[in-house]
């Protein structure tokens, strides 16, 4: 039986940001074209005939937000027939986690603005981008159970509480702090230094920690398995 097909392929980028002050956020653009003009959305667009998916998502990010990200992981394919009112469009979504303050965001092309939004206070989004962010956030939370994070997000030396805060922000739930420290410490990618945390006010300052870069990247490749 002949199949009628007129499908376009797009890419969308879910770029999560993390800072100790603001927690987990998502990079969004404000559309300046129809459909959904003036609505916030994920950076993304159609894939060119001569582009790879990876080239397309990097190009769209650069064009719409002005930023370059070295690595984005492929997330999922979204293909609801009515997800785009203009055409039948299948979107291949990518996601990553970065430190927002190392980027200067500048909107361009079909975006009138670009900004970071806290994951807990997202605006009403265009297309099915709310669903895409939910899937990406769930994937990120699952990833924490088998791969360490934090090397690119925390300072070179940090109090252990900052690593706890990072995991709490991404997981969006409390953790057993005592067991968390035991479980993280046994993998060997954290080193305790003799330097003390600077405290304001009363309290006993704790030691600062740093990542063992070699061990950290080895565990990222090999994977770990622990319950938080």
Domain range list for the chain: 7-143, 158-222
**Helix locations, the chain, DSSP H:** 53-65, 129-143, 160-171, 177-185, 213-222
The pTM of the full predicted model, rounded to 2 decimals, is: 0.93
Residue located via tokens 């361009």: 108
Q: pLDDT tens, 60-113?
A: 999 999 999 988 999 999 999 999 999 999 999 999 999 999 999 999 888 999
What CATH topology corresponds to 158-222? Answer: Arc Repressor Mutant, subunit A (1.10.10)
Condensed to tens digits (0 to 9), the pLDDT of residues 7-63 reads 999 999 999 999 999 999 999 999 999 999 999 999 999 999 999 999 999 999 999
Superfamily of domain 7-143: Nucleoside Triphosphate Pyrophosphohydrolase (3.90.79.10)
């Amino acid at each position: 039986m002949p199949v009628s097909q007129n499908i376009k392929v797009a890419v969308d980028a879910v770029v999560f940001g993390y800072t100790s002050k603001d927690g987990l956020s998502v990079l969004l653009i404000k559309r300046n074209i129809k459909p959904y003009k003036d609505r916030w959305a994920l950076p993304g667009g159609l894939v060119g005939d001569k582009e790879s998916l990876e080239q397309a998502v990097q190009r769209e990010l650069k064009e719409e937000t002005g930023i370059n990200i070295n690595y984005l992981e492929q997330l999922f394919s979204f293909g609801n027939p009515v997800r785009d009112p203009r055409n039948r469009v299948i979107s291949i979504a990518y996601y990553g986690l970065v430190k927002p303050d190392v980027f200067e965001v500048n909107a361009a092309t079909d975006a009138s603005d670009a900004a970071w939004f806290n994951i807990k206070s997202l605006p009403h989004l265009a297309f099915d981008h709310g669903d895409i962010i939910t899937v990406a956030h769930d994937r990120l939370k699952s990833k924490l159970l088998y791969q360490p994070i934090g090397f690119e997000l925390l300072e070179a030396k940090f109090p252990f509480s900052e690593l706890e805060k990072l995991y709490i922000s991404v997981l969006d739930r409390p953790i057993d702090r005592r067991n968390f420290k035991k479980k993280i410490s046994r993998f060997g990618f954290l080193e305790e230094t003799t330097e003390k945390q600077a405290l304001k006010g009363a309290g006993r300052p704790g030691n600062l920690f740093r990542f063992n870069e070699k061990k950290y990247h080895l565990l990222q490749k090999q994977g770990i398995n622990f319950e938080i």
